[in-house]
Amino acid sequence: MAAYFLRESDLAAWVDRLIRGRPVWGPVAKKTQFVFAELHSAKELRLDYDVSLVPPKKVIFPTTQELVAFSPRGAESSIRPRPQILFGVHFYDIKALDQLDLLFAEKHADQNYLANRAATTIVGSSIQRVFKRAFWGSIAPEVKPRGHDAFLTKIRGGYLFETRTRKGEALVRSGKFVKATPARVEEAQQVNARMMARCPEKFPAPAAQVAHQVRFAFIKEELWKELAHDCFSCGTCNILCPTCYCFDVQDRWNLDQVSGVRCRSWDGCQLEDFARVSLGEGASENFREERFERYRHRILRKLTYLNEKLGGPACVGCGRCSAGCVPDIADPVRIVSRILEV
Amino acid sequence: MAARKPPATTGTENIFLPREAGILRVESLTATEKLFTLRMKDGAPMVYDPGQIVELSLFGYGEIPIGFASSPTRRETFDVVVRSVGRVSKAINRCEKGDSLWVRGPLGRGFDLPKLRGRNVLIVAAGIGLCPTRSLIQYILERREEFKKFTLFFGARTPKHQLFLADLAQWRGSDAVAYHETVDQPDGSWQGNVGVITTLFSKVAIEPDSRVVICGPPVMYRFVIRELDKIGIPHHRVFVDLERRMKCGLGKCGHCQINDRYVCTDGPVFPYHEIEDLEEVFA
């Protein structure tokens, strides 16, 4: 829609005004790492973060979300979105949210997600520090982020603020913005373009080619067993992934023991029981019983199965799974490199 | 590759909000299975295809995916059969006439009735696989003239594991269905065939132009399809009703995925040729 300039010294006052209006989630420091948290003051905001530990999807798709409340009177929908701002999201996490938007909307539209999404204003921000395991510069760079309402780029002396929607444009009223000059717009473009080349890791081939070759590799059991050999089935790679959205649904009683809630919680396809079905009399069937089968499922789901629907892979190159995996066997760059080798 | 345009995202309908159903009747089928006859409290008829599922729940315990066990022609009421296996199913099976259960559905893809009409139909059901196929069996028997030869194979582990004993007795003496049964392990009183369900294929002639429906324990499918291959029945005429952990029933939660398909929305009934190349179809 429009481009504005905000001086560095005016950022805090703007963010503090936004916080007074409604909840604002942004990157904050937690010891040496960063998380998305509800901001109490602009002082907490760390736009120089490299990556957040847990992706910002949690603001729209909470780790545990109440779906339905029940009581002796019956059942009630728990959809109650609150207006909020998700501030300082890197472009790769916006790409991930774009995917969730589509996946929760297709077939049976899930308003438990979509209503939260519609009530959220997303402000992207340029990457100032590069995460040591990131490869967002080389995985499907042709897929652009599109779900944000505005984008903030650090340039000399301040920020370029580009609005994309009316929700984004409305934020301008809270700060000391001036119309940006073409030179500043150009500078921001260069800042973001230069950043794309600075990732320490490089995805080894175009995503469409990888999709084909990874699918073809499905039957190479020995290869998957080798890759998954040290997997603990802990599910960390799932939980840290910005595009994972599998969940379990469980009921919880309230203390009164007559009412309660039905909730969903993040789940992970690497966990041993994820695809297990009870058959009765103690018998069960686990449709992905072996670790390598679950490990393979994750890789195919990230790099192959959803590509046609999403227009690219369900991996945005954030590097969280690579860094979070204790035996360090979850890195899509290394996995794909190995698959392409054999 | 172009991304598909996201569908409309407005609305407040909660796809997880179930509707209340009253229990009209409870019948113990075996030591572990109970049949519930349900009617929606809001009075809306349940309109479904045989083979579709509902998410059945008891608040405070949770939801389980269950196939319809009665013909959709009944409309006002429907049957489901619950086997006591886990926390939710055991709690549901403690419910009595007059209690309420909660229902989301119908969900998923059922049997393609137009593809079966006017054809010879063989149903191969084993164990609890008789429950979802009972919906189709009743439908065919009610509209018998719409189908050609109708053959039913039913296998159970022991005579004690046989379900729907009144139905079985009726089918044994019926001209409307060529009913053949077997048990893996007989007891002293069993007079019928002994052996796994595939042993029936050597005893009963099946027309190569038959449409075939398979529903049973995961291990069974491969062996039945091998028999069908011997007869020369092409895979697009074989319909498999699959079991998976269909937690949400809406194609979201991920538990029921077979490669890139969701059993809960793409199935649970699949024409076999659609999925035969998927590596994860059978255990």
A 279-338 near B (Cβ less than 8 A) = 279-281, 285-289, 293, 297, 300-301, 304-312
Q: How far is CA B115 from the centre of its chain?
A: 17
How far is the C-alpha of A76 from the C-alpha of B18, rounded, in Å?
Answer: 9
Alpha helices in A53-177 (DSSP H): 91-105, 111-118, 166-170
**CATH number of residue B32's parent domain:** 2.40.30.10
Give the three-class secondary structure for A232: coil
Mean pLDDT of the residues in chain A: 96
Query: Using the beta-carbon criterion (under 8 Å), do B3 and A248 form an inter-chain contact?
Result: no
The tokens describing A164, both together, are: 């994309």
Per-residue confidence (pLDDT) for residue B5, from 0 to 100: 46
Number of domains in chain B: 2
How far is the C-alpha of A71 from the C-alpha of B59, rounded, in Å?
Answer: 8
Over residues A71-85, the pLDDT tens digits come to 999 999 999 999 999
- Say whether residue A114 is in contact with chain B using an 8 A CB cutoff: yes
Task: Tell me the residue type at B35.
Answer: L
For residues B103-132, average pLDDT: 96
Residues in chain A with CB shorter than 8 Å from the CB of B280 are: 287-288, 293, 297
Looking at the complex, report in whole angstroms how far the Cα of residue A101 sits from the nearest Cα belonging to chain B: 8
Residues in chain A with CB shorter than 8 Å from the CB of B1 are: 208, 307-308, 311-312
Per-residue confidence (pLDDT) for residue B74, from 0 to 100: 86
How far is the C-alpha of A90 from the C-alpha of A105, rounded, in Å?
Answer: 23
Over residues A152-167, the pLDDT tens digits come to 999 999 999 999 999 9
**C-beta of residue A145 within 8 angstroms of C-beta of residue A123:** no
Rounded CA Rg of chain B = 19
- Identify the band that residue B138 occupies on the pLDDT scale cut at 50, 70 and 90: very high
Over residues A103-126, the pLDDT tens digits come to 999 989 999 999 999 999 999 999
* Residue ranges per structural domain of chain A: 2-195, 207-341
Per-residue confidence (pLDDT) for residue B76, from 0 to 100: 92
How far is the C-alpha of B174 from the C-alpha of B200, rounded, in Å?
Answer: 19
Measure CB to CB from residue A310 to each of B3, B63, B258 and give the nearest one: B3
Query: Using the beta-carbon criterion (under 8 Å), do B14 and A111 form an inter-chain contact?
Result: yes
Same domain? For B103 and B122 the reply is no
Higher pLDDT residue, A282 or B158?
A: B158
Lowest-pLDDT range of A68-77, B9-18, B108-117, B184-193: B9-18
Cβ neighbours of residue A60 closer than 8 Å, sequence gap 6 or more? A86, A97, A100, A113, A116, A117, A120
Percent residues over pLDDT 90 in chain B:
88
> What phi and psi values does residue A97 have, to the nearest 5 degrees?
-65, -35
Does the pLDDT value for residue A320 go beyond 90?
yes
For residues A195-211, average pLDDT: 95
Same domain? For B122 and B216 the reply is yes
Per-residue confidence (pLDDT) for residue A76, from 0 to 100: 96
Same domain? For B95 and B168 the reply is no
The tokens describing A72, both together, are: 């002796």
Taking chain A, what is the end-to-end CA distance rounded to the nearest angstrom?
A: 48
Candidates B17, B99, B157, partner chain A, best to mutate (most A CBs within 10 A):
B17
Looking at the complex, report in whole angstroms how far the Cα of residue A311 sits from the nearest Cα belonging to chain B: 4
Per-residue confidence (pLDDT) for residue A92, from 0 to 100: 98
The tokens describing A97, both together, are: 């949210």
Query: Using the beta-carbon criterion (under 8 Å), do A260 and B59 form an inter-chain contact?
Result: yes
- Identify the band that residue B281 occupies on the pLDDT scale cut at 50, 70 and 90: confident
For residues A165-171, average pLDDT: 97
- Identify the band that residue A15 occupies on the pLDDT scale cut at 50, 70 and 90: very high
Over residues B40-98, the pLDDT tens digits come to 999 988 999 999 999 999 999 999 999 999 999 988 999 999 999 999 999 999 999 99
The H or E element containing residue B168 is: helix B165-172
- Identify the band that residue B147 occupies on the pLDDT scale cut at 50, 70 and 90: very high
- Identify the band that residue B11 occupies on the pLDDT scale cut at 50, 70 and 90: low
* A300: nearest CA partner in chain B: B259
How far is the C-alpha of B216 from the C-alpha of B269, rounded, in Å?
Answer: 12
Instruction: For residue B44, tell me if it sits in a domain.
Output: yes
Instruction: For residue B251, tell me if it sits in a domain.
Output: no
**CATH number of residue B148's parent domain:** 3.40.50.80
Same domain? For B141 and B94 the reply is no
The H or E element containing residue A195 is: helix A182-195
* B3: nearest CA partner in chain A: A311
Same domain? For B153 and B221 the reply is yes
Looking at the complex, report in whole angstroms how far the Cα of residue A56 sits from the nearest Cα belonging to chain B: 19
Q: DSSP states of A35-81 as a string?
A: EEEE-SSGGGB-TT-S--SS-GGGGTS-SEEEEEEEETTEEEE----
Over residues B220-249, the pLDDT tens digits come to 999 999 999 999 999 999 999 998 999 999
Instruction: For residue B36, tell me if it sits in a domain.
Output: yes
Residues in chain B with CB shorter than 8 Å from the CB of A67 are: 14, 16-17
Give the three-class secondary structure for A89: strand
Mean pLDDT of the residues in chain B: 93
How far is the C-alpha of A43 from the C-alpha of A15, rounded, in Å?
Answer: 9
> What phi and psi values does residue B27 have, to the nearest 5 degrees?
-135, 130
Per-residue confidence (pLDDT) for residue B7, from 0 to 100: 45
Same domain? For B204 and B230 the reply is yes
Measure CB to CB from residue A251 to each of B20, B62, B252 and give the nearest one: B62
Measure CB to CB from residue B59 to each of A78, A219, A251 and give the nearest one: A251
Over residues A86-106, the pLDDT tens digits come to 999 999 999 999 999 999 999
Instruction: For residue B181, tell me if it sits in a domain.
Output: yes
- Say whether residue A74 is in contact with chain B using an 8 A CB cutoff: yes
How far is the C-alpha of B52 from the C-alpha of B268, rounded, in Å?
Answer: 7
How far is the C-alpha of A68 from the C-alpha of A75, rounded, in Å?
Answer: 7
Among A219, A244, A222, residue whose Cα is nearest residue A321:
A244
Same domain? For B56 and B132 the reply is no
Cβ neighbours of residue B161 closer than 8 Å, sequence gap 6 or more? B30, B127, B183
Looking at the complex, report in whole angstroms how far the Cα of residue B283 sits from the nearest Cα belonging to chain A: 6
**C-beta of residue A225 within 8 angstroms of C-beta of residue A82:** no
Same domain? For B98 and B166 the reply is no
Sign of CA pseudo-dihedral A182, A186, A191, A196: positive
Among B279, B95, B135, B99, residue whose Cα is nearest residue A221:
B279
- C-beta neighbour count of A236 within 10 angstroms: 18
Instruction: For residue B1, tell me if it sits in a domain.
Output: no
Lay out the sheet containing B211-215: strands in order across. B193-194, B178-183, B150-156, B121-126, B211-215, B238-241, B269-271
> What phi and psi values does residue B279 have, to the nearest 5 degrees?
-70, -25
Q: Which residues pair with B125 in a beta bridge?
A: B154, B215
Does the pLDDT value for residue B209 go beyond 80?
yes
- Identify the band that residue B8 occupies on the pLDDT scale cut at 50, 70 and 90: very low
Looking at the complex, report in whole angstroms how far the Cα of residue A246 sits from the nearest Cα belonging to chain B: 4
Measure CB to CB from residue A280 to each of B13, B85, B265 and give the nearest one: B85
Candidates A101, A102, A103, A110, partner chain B, best to mutate (most B CBs within 10 A):
A110
For residues B10-30, average pLDDT: 91
Extract long-range pairs of B22-26: CB within 8 Å, 24+ residues apart.
B22/B98, B22/B99, B22/B100, B23/B95, B23/B96, B23/B97, B23/B98, B23/B99, B23/B100, B23/B101, B24/B77, B24/B97, B25/B97, B26/B95, B26/B96, B26/B97
Sign of CA pseudo-dihedral A138, A144, A148, A152: positive
Candidates B255, B265, B278, B282, partner chain A, best to mutate (most A CBs within 10 A):
B255
**C-beta of residue B123 within 8 angstroms of C-beta of residue B133:** yes
A 121-180 near B (Cβ less than 8 A) = 143
Domain stop point among B107, B126, B152? B107
Measure CB to CB from residue A280 to each of B83, B254, B265 and give the nearest one: B83
Same domain? For B71 and B124 the reply is no
A 205-234 near B (Cβ less than 8 A) = 208, 218-219
Same domain? For B123 and B158 the reply is yes
Range of the domain at B183: 113-241
Among A337, A340, A326, A339, residue whose Cα is nearest residue A296:
A339
Output DSSP code: residue A180: P
Any idea of the CA torsion for A199, A329, A332, A37, to the nearest 10 degrees? -60
Looking at the complex, report in whole angstroms how far the Cα of residue B143 sits from the nearest Cα belonging to chain A: 32
Per-residue confidence (pLDDT) for residue B6, from 0 to 100: 45
Query: Using the beta-carbon criterion (under 8 Å), do B12 and A277 form an inter-chain contact?
Result: no
Per-residue confidence (pLDDT) for residue B283, from 0 to 100: 61
Instruction: For residue B281, tell me if it sits in a domain.
Output: no
Domain stop point among B62, B92, B107? B107
**C-beta of residue B39 within 8 angstroms of C-beta of residue B21:** yes
